[in-house]
Structure 1
Amino acid sequence: MSGRPAARLRPIIVTILACALVAATVGAVMNRQLISDHIAAAGFEAPSPVLELQQSLHLTDDGTRIFLASHPTLDGSQHFNTQCAELLQGVTAHVLGCYVDDRIHLFNVVDPRVAGIVQVTAAHELLHAAYARMRPGDRSVLAEKLRKLYKERSQADPDLAKRMEMYSNLSDTAFAGELHSILGSEMEDLPEWLEEHYAQWFEDRSSITATYRAYQGVFQGLKNDSNSLRERMRVLRVDVEKRKADYDIAIEAYDADAAELEQQLNAPKRSKSRATIESEREKQRDLEERRTELKETLKGLQDDIDHYNEQRAALQQLGELSTELEQQLDSALAPVTTRPTE
């Protein structure tokens, strides 16, 4: 009789153990990515520049794990183009990073005038990695919410609509993925639900968007300065052309009056009355005043023409500076080997 309770308990214990094993198995499957990331991150010996980049992103523990698990590379050579070759095909815009085969690759832009561009790109690609790790159902729900938010925002924000134009040929799923990275790394004032979503990976997302705004301000500033200079040049050119036309008419009138007076002065004096002589002197004084005014007008025109040429030279310099900065972002122009500072 003493063995019967133990016998009855044995199936229960077996059942409990089986359930525990099943639960453990299910948990392992569900957390397979998490376990894999822990192992990948722990086994990654990040170079100092990558560690400095990671620290500058102000990541949470989850964000740090995903970033390091993606074994990010930071390269300013043509090797970056090899790493991101799949993404570069048929793309006309500058590609500064990619997330390919579970790896993050970043183009190392070192020009201090666009400082921070690597950080923003890294945040963008990290969000691709995080998006890829979401459960399919959760990702589908989020994608729908992102597309709805974009539809609302883009109507009031033409800059956002223009930013997303290059992704217009993507599928809804891929478009939502790009939107997820762009909103998270570039846009401020997002809905609370989305801020909470991004807070999984960023302790201070505002530092990323502020950095984006700062380096974008460099390009926007150049564009604004160029547009403003072109408008001032247009106004000055119209003014100079009108004044030059008036000057030409005044010169013709002056030459005609001067020739007429010269003819009168060359007539024999004995045939002239005192009134005629006084009239001629008055005409001489008038012509001298007009001559002085015309000289001043010509000087003013020349000064403004010189100023216009100075503005044209300044506009050319702005264009060269803009081109120079754009070239810094063009990985196709990168050196064959890594820069010495990298």
Structure 2
Amino acid sequence: MLRRKFSKTVIIVNTTISLILIALALLIVANRQRIIDQITVWQFHPTSAITSLVDRAGMNGNGKFLYLSSQPALDATQNFNNECDRIENTTSILGCYSNYRIFIYDVTDKKLDGVREVTAAHETLHAAYARLGSDEKDKINVLLEAEYKKLENNKDYVDRMAFYARTEPGERDNELHSVIGTEIANINPDLEKYYDNYFSDRQKVVALNTKYSSVFINLKAHANVLLAQLNSLSEGIGSATERYNSDVKTLNADIFEFNRRANNGSFQTQSQFNYERAVLSARVDELDVGRAKIDADLALYDQTLAEYNSIASESKKLYNSIDSTLAPAPTV
């Protein structure tokens, strides 16, 4: 009797253990990615430069977890280009999410403060999107597309999405998920609530994006103003110079004729002579004023051109600072 009771107890215990193991196995399968992410985070040892990016970008604990589980790397060498493909030479690549890892181009120009933080958050949202289930994606995609409709009159965003369509076909909503999340301040409350899964203060990353983007926007706007001034000055100087040369030619002919008549004694009275000479003298003075105006406009043109070239030089320097193709080779 004791043996039978013991055997029954063993069977019950074994069955219970089996059920626990099955439940545990199902739990592991259901949370496989989360478990992998957790192990990765435990094993990853980020630098302070890496962790500071998402802190400044306003990401919460979950956002930071996804960021660190992607083993982010800051790189300012040609190694970055080995990880992040540049399909079109006209567009700089600031970062990418590739093979479950985040790569960020290490832009160090102080004028572009915030660009690395925005890139880090942008790529982290790619990691977040990759972990959404199909039903979750469908729900979020509807909100993203509705939000994008508000941006369809913004040429910059239209051009950006056209670029993604060419270089990353099929990833439209994935890109919108990152773009809207890091760049658009006022969005649908439901979408904002969704982004609360990753941000404690999403406006921080939006502000950083506005900050560094405005550097390029302001330089371009300033350059366009100067270019318009240069074109206007050039047109005005050209027309004024043409009139001046024509007037000088006419005046020289009239002075020659005046002198010929004077030498031939063609003036009947001294007053007539004095009058016509005074008229010619006034025309000379008028031409001198015109010439002085042309010289002043030429000086202004040179000054404006120098300022324009300075802006162009600064713009080129900044664009070069985000162009990974110009990065040095990695050191050994």
TM-score normalised by the chain length of structure 2: 0.89
**What is the correspondence of 1:223-234 to structure 2 with a 5 Å cutoff?**
223-234=220-231
Find out whether 1:258 has 2:255 as its counterpart.
yes
Deviation of residue 326 (structure 1)? 0.8
- Residues 146 and 179, structure 1, Cα contact 8 Å, conserved in 2: yes
Q: Superposed, which structure 2 residues align to 1:84-99 within 5 Å? A: 84=84, 87-89=85-87, 92-99=90-97
CA-to-partner distance for each residue in 1:138-184, whole Å, 9 max, x for gaps? 2233234423443x224333332122111123677421111111111
**For the Cα contact (< 8 Å) 1:143–1:173, is it kept in 2?**
no
| Structure 2 residue 323 is the aligned partner of structure 1 residue 330 | yes
Are 1:249 and 2:246 matched, yes or no? yes
Q: Distance in 1 between matches of 2:170 and 2:140?
A: 10
Matched, 1:281 2:274: yes
Q: Which of the numbers 286, 292, 295 marks the counterpart of 1:293?
A: 286
Q: Distance in 2 between matches of 1:65 and 1:310?
A: 53
CA contact (8 A) 2:75 2:104 kept: yes
Counterpart for residue 238 of structure 1: 235
1:305 aligns with 2:298: yes
Distance of 1:148 and 1:192 partners within structure 2? 12
The DSSP-based 3-state class of the residue aligned with 2:93 is coil
- The worse-fitting range, judged by mean Cα deviation, of 156-165 and 287-296 is 156-165
- What is the CA distance between 1:28 and its match in structure 2? 2.4
Output aligned runs, 1:165-204, within 5 Å: 165-169=162-166, 173-204=170-201
Partner Cα separation in structure 2 for residue 167 and residue 101 of structure 1: 19
Structure-2 change in CA distance of 1:59 and 1:171 (3 Å) = closer
Q: Which amino acid letter does the alignment assign opposite residue 295 of structure 1?
A: D
1:48 aligns with 48
Aligned residue for 1:314, secondary structure, equals helix
Task: Note the C-alpha offset of 1:318.
Answer: 1.7
Q: 1:148 to 1:262 in 2, by over 3 A?
A: same
CA drift of 1:299 comes to: 1.3
Q: CA deviation at 1:104?
A: 0.8
* Separation in structure 2 between the aligned mates of residue 170 and residue 142 of structure 1, nearest angstrom: 23
SS at match of 2:200: coil
String of CA shifts for 1:195-234, please: whole Å, max 9, x gaps: 1111111111111111111111111111111111111122
| Alignment check: 8 A CA contact 1:81 1:332 kept | yes
Counterpart CA distance in 2 for 1:54 and 1:240 is 54
Q: Which moved more, 1:315-324 or 1:137-146?
A: 137-146
Residue 27 of structure 2 aligns with an amino acid whose one-letter code is: G
Name 2:141's counterpart in structure 1: 143
Q: Deviations over 1:25-71 (max 9, x none)?
A: 33222222222222211221111211222322222111111111111
The 8 Å contact of residues 114 and 209 in structure 2, kept in 1 or not, is answered as yes
Amino acid at match of 2:86: L
For residue 74 of structure 1, give the secondary structure of its aligned residue in structure 2: strand
Q: Are residues 254 and 304 of structure 1, via their aligned partners in 2, closer, same or farther at CA, if it must alter by over 3 Å?
A: same
Structure 1 position 7, deviation (Å): 11
TM-score (norm 1): 0.87
Structure 1 match to 2:65? 65
Which amino acid in 1 is paired with 2:101? R
Match of 2:125 in 1: 127
Per-residue CA deviations over 1:275-316 (Å, capped at 9, x if unaligned) read x22110111122222212211211111111221122223222
Q: Could you say what secondary structure the match of 2:187 adopts?
A: coil
Tell me the distance in 1 between the aligned counterparts of 2:170 and 2:277: 86
1:25 aligns with 2:25: yes
Cα distance in structure 1, aligned partners of 2:168 and 2:82:
25
Residue 319 of structure 1 is aligned with which of 312, 315, 319?
Answer: 312
Mapped contact 1:114–1:215 kept (Cα < 8 A): yes
Distance, in Å, in 2 between the alignment partners of 1:256 and 1:76 is: 69
Alpha carbons 2:118, 2:205 under 8 Å: kept: yes
Separation in 2, partners of 1:311, 1:171? 42
Secondary structure at the aligned position of 2:280 is classed as helix
Asked whether the equivalents of residues 123 and 185 of structure 1 are also in contact (C-alpha less than 8 Å), the reply is yes
Contact 2:56 2:205 in 1 (8 A): no
2:215 matched residue in structure 1: 218
Q: CA 1:289/1:227 → structure 2, altered by over 3 Å: closer, same or farther?
A: same
Cα 1:76–1:204 change in 2 (3 A) is: same
Residue 168 of structure 1 aligns to a residue whose secondary structure is: helix
State the match for 2:78 in structure 1.
78
Letter in 2 for 1:286: V
| Cα distance change of structure 1 residues 219 and 170 upon mapping to structure 2, 3 Å threshold | closer
